[in-house]
Amino acid sequence: MKHTNRQDAIIMFFTYAALILMAFITLVPFIWLIASTFKSNYEIVGVPGTFFPKKVTGEHYRYILGRFNILSYFFNSLFLAVVKTTVGVYTSLYIGYMFAKFSFFGKKALYSMIVFTMTVPALVTMIPTYNMANSVNLIDSWWAIILPTVVLSFGIFMMRLYITKAVPTALLEAAQIDGAGQFFIFHRIVVPLSVNMISALSIYVFIGAWNDFLWPYLVLNTQRKYPLSVALSMLNGQNNTNYGGLFVATLLTIVPILIVYWIFQRRFIEGISMTGIK
């Protein structure tokens, strides 16, 4: 090696400095948001702005948790996300298993179509889908939000990849000879062997559902049916001057995601890494 220890130490110093600066830039807006939830509206729009509150107030928390009743939107989001995740991950497993271990006529063509659907922008099918929801009276109904994610192309894609590798065909054959039916094999052998991918996909689908905005915004008209993201955009509307309230609501939309992330951190990063390297 040509590099001296001194040189290496200097390089190491600047590397860490850059990495820590980046972490700082990532976190500062969140810290500022948290600090600002305790400011009065008067202080929030003051010139120049402040970082930490001059005078701490809890009025925005009282308003958002009380009169705005954010918990009801929170439970709407939670219900939708849990249903979408459960159904979506189950069908992904089911169909992914079919594509991984069954042979049938037209399999390749059908699978290519499923992969193709992933490249079509949601906006292209959104207008006709909206029109369709309208004609079957599903506008303003949660069904309109749940039904489009009953089957997930991305989930099928990931599950097929995973089951092909992680579930040995010999094991399925042995079970079949022992007299196990297909449903038994699927639920008692394939599902338990896919636990890693199930958790990675669940987190991914849950967060996607939690963050979903445009479709629920278009489809729902009744305020009490709104998920958090839509309720939040409503608070952000033109006529609102309760900035502190908006900050509290923003923070409370983020917190559940933070908790999920904190619990499943390792799984999460593994799952994301899995999608990138082939």
Binding to other proteins in span 126-145, by CB under 8 A: 126-132, 134
Q: Which is nearer to other proteins, 198 or 271 (CB)?
A: 271
User: CA 222 to CA 231: how far, in whole Å?
Assistant: 11
The minimum distance between CB 183 and other proteins, in angstroms, equals 6
- Choice from 180, 193, 242, 267 touching other proteins (CB under 8 A): 180
Residue found by looking up tokens 């069954």 in the block: 102
Q: What amino acid occupies position 119? A: T
- Choice from 112, 115, 184, 195 touching other proteins (CB under 8 A): 184
Q: Which is nearer to other proteins, 10 or 28 (CB)?
A: 28
Backbone phi, psi, residue 141, to 5°: -120, 145
- 46, 174 contact by CB (below 8 A): no
State how far Cα 184 lies from the chain centre: 31
Q: Which residues of 18-56 are buried (b: 16+ CB within 10 A; e: fewer)?
A: eeeeeeeeeeeeeeeeeebbbbbbebbeeeeeeeebeee
Q: Which is nearer to other proteins, 5 or 128 (CB)?
A: 128
For other proteins, which stretch binds (CB under 8 A), given 54-62, 68-76, 158-166, 247-255? Answer: 247-255
Binders in 86-125 for other proteins, by CB under 8 A: 91, 94-95, 98, 101-104, 110, 113-114, 117, 119-125
Q: Which is nearer to other proteins, 171 or 195 (CB)?
A: 171
- Count the site residues for other proteins by CB under 8 A: 102
Six token digits for residue 72 = 């009801």
